[in-house]
Chain A
Amino acid sequence: MQPLPPRWLDKLATRICAPHLREELLGDLHERYALRHRRTGARKANFFFLREVAALVRPSIMKRKPSPYGSPSAFSRDMLRNYFKIGSRVLLKNSSYSLIHLTGLSIGLWACMMVATVVIDSLSYDRQWSRKDDIYRIVSVNKMGGDLVERHTSSPANLAPELQKIYAEVESWSSVDSYDIHFKIRPEDADGIETSMLTVDTMANKVLGIKLLAGSLERTTQSRWSLLVTRSYAAKIFPGQDPVGKIIHDIPTFSSKPTPYEITGLIEDLPYNSHLRADVIRLKRTEVGPLVSNGMIFFGRNYLLLKSGTDVAAFTRKVNAWYARFMKNDKNQFEFQPLKDIYLHSDFAEGQSVRASIRTIYTFAGVALLLLFIACVNFVNLSTAKAFARVKEAGVRKVLSGSRTQLVMQLLTETLLLFSISVGIAVFVYFFTLQPVENFLGHRLVLTFTSNTMMAGAALLMFFLTALLTGLYPAWVISGFKPADTLRGIFTASLGQTGLRKTLVVAQFSISIIVLLATIVVWQQFDLMKNKKLGYDKNNLIGIEQIAWNGKGGAFKNELQRIPGVVRSSLSTWMPGESAGYMQREVDDPAHAGRRLRVWYVAGDVDLPAILRLKLVKGRSFSDRFADALNSDSLQNESFEKLEKAQMNQNSLMTASAAKMLRIKQLDVQTKNAHSVPVGIVGDFHNESLYEPLKPTFILAQKAPEYASMLIRIQPGTEMQVGTGVRKLWKQFFPEKLLRIHNIEEKLNKQYEAESKLHQLFLFFSGLTMFLSALGIFGLVVQAAEQRAKEVGIRKVLGASVAGIVGLISKDFVKLVMVAIVIASPLAWYALQKWLESYPYRTTIHWWVFVVTGVAALAVTVGTVSFQAIRAATADPVRSLRNE
């Protein structure tokens, strides 16, 4: 018998070898195989044959001879023009499909662009400074016992110069403070121009690399503040004039007279996308004192400029080891936060107004990517479903000698056309929605796709790649059928590929359901924080922000009483939501020896507890009848020790939790732990936002404190009236000073802006994802109804009811959504539980949330599906059956 080589190798050889060489070459291979087989046996012959096949891989053997009857290249100019012509005709002919595609894709692309803008913008913060890689903010880390640490952006004022003295790595340092100030340029600006100001010492120039345009970067006057103004701010306050040398005044809050500022320099605008965003820079003298380990330590925000290439981790260890030796304990440590991390990684930095949370950015990006995914899934799903109609066309094209490449190109062109129209729409909408999005975010976006050509180019490239990836799969499927089968109407199982389509639909709906669940839970959490009882009455309360009263606080308070609508008012050093108290103390924990507890102190005049409507649990509240109030301002002026001593004997109120923690049973006796004489116990109240746990608090009374804010309790509905009255009174008392007046409830709600925004965002996205999913399923139902038109016709002829047919068509989709609900619910539960963990007061995720979401998803599905299903079911069966 003739020995034959292994079949698969033979097949492989045939594949490799060009057709015109096959006869001679394969003949040769077989002949040699037979020779070998005879000589050395089957095994060696097989091995040799393998080598022979491998040796065939060379260009001269593999290169195919071009066919003399070839179709034009799939990439020739004529063909390219043809793709566009046919493509646009197909899109126009199936206009309803095209519309579904366009809507879905436009929304997906728009959302993606928007979010990409936000993400890129957030990542661009603080990348413009010339020494951006070498600047670090000093962060104090206080060990609170156990694993608890507290981070502050402030550090001892004299630490940075000391570090520069000791360590060669420190090139320079600067203290930088930022706050808002109101400048009065013209007499008619009543409230002045709100200006964000940096206060820096003269070293800042070295660290930040400020570009001077005119004037000087040094302090030129000793009697006044020196001010550097940015170019755009100068154009705003002195249009067309040289600002250098001019003197402007602020509207004071603490001092009694306006402070003069001399403009000494004009500088280039500071980058907007920086946490040191500012209009003007105030220069202060560089003051260096000795670093001390005990007594009064002043704190400030300090930045270090390290030499390029410094190993920061090693430097941090070195500094902390040194500081622990210096302080003789290791409770206070430092970290050096790179400048580039400050914007996104500063959740602990309470005073920093320009910051964002990396968590929000991740959520934002994640949801947008999911949205784009849903849009692309829609596209793939609809296109493969539509393949049913396209295979016949593909068959005819193939019979007329169209190559597969041409077919793929044809279908890809359609995809690209759809994508480019969608991109056009998306960019158009994007351009006009930038403004609302900026309003929503509360700050400008510096880098956008319409302003930065680099970004625009990258985006277009990304879209092109996405289009290719999404278009390739349907194109491949459609062009892969054998023309003989498709033209005869035989469809192989692969056309069904319902497996993939089903999976995609389930994924799509799972995402929609997760986003919907998140929307509900975020809203619940927001609602909980907004409406939780705080322990004091936040309604009908107006607050005037802290100023120095110049001794006229008491008189102002008396005058205020005359304004109709004012119930009562109080000078207070504490305002709801601003801080936990003006002072905190660490006291011994009576329950655990050696452990320390922290208590907070809130101070105001004797009316404070009444104004807040705190609930009295035990004892009595403050009253003018007793000597409750202490004249702390004058005592403090005398000496700090005297004040401390007086406070030990001062009457105080304490909250229930403070009484419980400190185990204070007896009132009206001096208690060492309380540092005062408690006379009453009031119900707990939340000093700060609900991000913070409840704080044990003492309330002290002071006689008309000088540095204080004012709380005014008003009658319901008289806010406007009281507001105008207060303004009028203010003009009489403090014509020079800035009045900042708030409704306390609004102010408190502003604290939860992050949750409110997150909720709005989820609400928006959940609407979109649901809409897109419904759109996708709608397309699929249309397709299914078309495909099953004949089946439906026969069923109707045989007596099926409309309801039965609607059920038949809807059943498949409802099943898919059920699966999606089952998959999505636990995932969402887990993720949301994780999210809620960071809140001390959190809502519980009730079972009904899942039921509601599930029912909503099902309702949307049934609504979309039955719309089309009823149309199919009520169609005249004669029409569908007469066809052919």
Chain B
Amino acid sequence: MRRSDLGEFEEIVLLAVAALAPAAYSVSIAEELENETGQPVSTGAVHAALQRLEQKGYLSSYLGEATQERGGRRKRLFTVTAYGGKILHEARTVRNSLWNRITPAELSKMGLDFSNS
């Protein structure tokens, strides 16, 4: 497992691509992340993360159609590759297993008692 390859921001971007498929590109991802987190997210940061993920082979891309808002420029659309999917799955497995091992008593100590909600 090469978990260290996947940064936190990269993981979120990768997830967002999967969630927004097939219309995942910088703008839609950045807007989505802004909505989810409430923090402003710059296009440049998202683009850089997408570039890295593509280089690592988790994503593939192709040029889509141009729109008027874009000044007649085409957009680059991203999809998660099978390898990317595997990595996402692995990440999720690790997290789930760790979550599951936390005892309810510990959860309530942390103020995260789910049984009552």
Contact = CB atoms under 8 A, between A and B. Distances in A.
Interface of A: 2, 21, 23-32, 34-35, 48, 51-52, 55-56, 58, 60-61
A28 B70 contact: yes
Given A51-B40, A55-B42, A25 B70 contact: no
A55 B43 contact: yes
Interface in B26-63: 26-27, 30-31, 40, 42-45, 47-48, 51-52, 63
A32 B27 contact: yes
A51 B42 contact: yes
Contacts of B43: 25, 28-29, 32, 52, 55
B66 interface: yes
A51 B45 CA distance: 11
| Residue of B26, B66, B71 most packed against chain A (CB within 10 A) | B71
A27 B65 CA distance: 11
Contact of A55 (B25, B44, B68, B71): B44
B74 A24 contact: yes
Given A31-B70, A51-B42, A25 B27 contact: no
A28 B75 contact: yes
B47 A32 contact: no
A32 B31 contact: yes
A24 B25 CA distance: 10
A30 B70 contact: yes
A28 B27 contact: yes
A27 B67 CA distance: 9
Contacts of A55: 42-45
Q: Lowest 6 CB-CB distances: which A-B pairs, in order?
A: A27-B73, A55-B42, A27-B70, A55-B44, A34-B69, A24-B76
Contact of A28 (B26, B40, B63): B26
Could you say which interface size class chain B belongs to? 20 to 34
A21 B73 CA distance: 11
B68 A52 contact: no
A31 B47 contact: no
| Residue of A2, A28, A51 most packed against chain B (CB within 10 A) | A28
Contact of A24 (B30, B68, B75): B75
B44 A58 contact: yes
Given A32-B30, A35-B31, A48-B40, A26 B48 contact: no
A20 to B, nearest CB: 11
* Dominant secondary structure at the B interface: mixed
Interface string B1-32: 00000000000000000000000011100110
Given A28-B26, A51-B42, A55-B45, A23 B51 contact: no
Contacts of B75: 24, 27-28, 31
Contacts of A30: 69-71, 73
Contacts of A51: 40, 42
Contacts of B40: 48, 51
Contact of B66 (A27, A28, A48): A27
B47 A28 contact: yes
A346 B17 CA distance: 83
Contacts of A26: 71, 73
10 contacts: A24-B75, A25-B26, A25-B44, A27-B75, A34-B69, A35-B31, A52-B42, A52-B43, A60-B51, A61-B44
Given A24-B74, A27-B74, A51-B42, 4 more contacts: A25-B26, A25-B47, A31-B69, A55-B42
B44 A56 contact: yes
B43 to A, nearest CB: 5
B74 to A, nearest CB: 6
A2 B48 contact: no
A832 B39 CA distance: 71
A35 B26 contact: no
Contacts of B76: 24
A32 B26 CA distance: 9
B35 to A, nearest CB: 12
Nearest to B55: A60
B64 to A, nearest CB: 9
A323 B83 CA distance: 94
Contacts of B45: 55
Given A2-B69, A52-B42, A52-B43, A60 B74 contact: no
B70 A58 contact: no
B6 to A, nearest CB: 17
Given A24-B63, A28-B26, A28-B27, A61 B47 contact: yes
| Residue of B40, B70, B74, B75 most packed against chain A (CB within 10 A) | B70
A53 to B, nearest CB: 8
A60 B63 contact: no
Contacts of B27: 28, 31-32, 35
Contacts of A58: 44, 48
B52 A60 contact: yes
Contacts of A34: 69
A229 B45 CA distance: 80
